Amino acid sequence: MVFCKNCQSEIEDSKMFLHEGFCKKNIKYCFKCKEKVPIEEYEEHLENHNNNKKEEEKKENKKEEEKENIGIECQYCSLLVDNNEIEEHEKMCGSRTVECEICGQYVQTRLLNQHLNVIHDVGYKDNNNNNFNKEEYNKQKQIEEDEILARKLAEEYNRFDMNNSFRHF
């Protein structure tokens, strides 16, 4: 038995002469996957290796992204939310209203600690461990009330406009 340097196969001595002529013209050995590949398919075969490598890299990147997006706890509802969605979630979650357990007033979740501190002097701190500013709280509360009033006025206007629109005959 003789070893063919081209296709990395063991060939009988008596057949080596014929094999070698055919093999060099028609076969290439792929050292990456250890397969014998027809010469006309060899370039495509190598591209497939590169594409497979790119696919593997994409899968690895996706796994890394998934690890990074495991989640952050929402400061309002304690739900675990993906890193790339936490800002939007907290914006929505913080705009929900909850009833104050002390006075029964409905307050946005994001303003509840300020409400308790300013109105009821409970002594909560903000996220930076500072006392809440009463003026800032009152401004936020006024903005919230103005937004509610603007929505109500827009709804009334739309209802009025729908009832009094001209009818074409």
Intra-chain end-to-end CA distance of the chain, in Å: 100
16: which strand partners? none
Question: Nearest to residue 18, comparing CAs of 36, 38, 35, 4?
Answer: 4
> Quick check: 79 and 73 in contact, CB under 8 A?
yes
Q: What is the per-residue pLDDT across 131-160, written as a single tens digit (0 to 9) for each?
A: 556 677 677 778 878 888 888 888 877 776
144 SS3 class? helix
For residues 39-52, average pLDDT = 83
| pLDDT > 60? residue 101 | yes
pLDDT at position 148, please? Answer: 80
DSSP string, 18-76: HHHHHHHHHEEEETTTTEEEEHHHHHHHHHHHHHHHHHHHHHHHHHHHHHHTS-EE-TT
Q: How far is 19 from 21, CA to CA, in rounded Å?
A: 6
> Quick check: 49 and 42 in contact, CB under 8 A?
no
Note the residue count of the chain: 169
pLDDT at position 169, please? Answer: 46
pLDDT at position 81, please? Answer: 84
Query: For a pLDDT cut of 70, what percent of the chain falls above it?
Result: 83
Q: How far is 1 from 98, CA to CA, in rounded Å?
A: 86
pLDDT at position 21, please? Answer: 86
Q: What is the per-residue pLDDT across 114-128, written as a single tens digit (0 to 9) for each?
A: 888 778 777 655 555
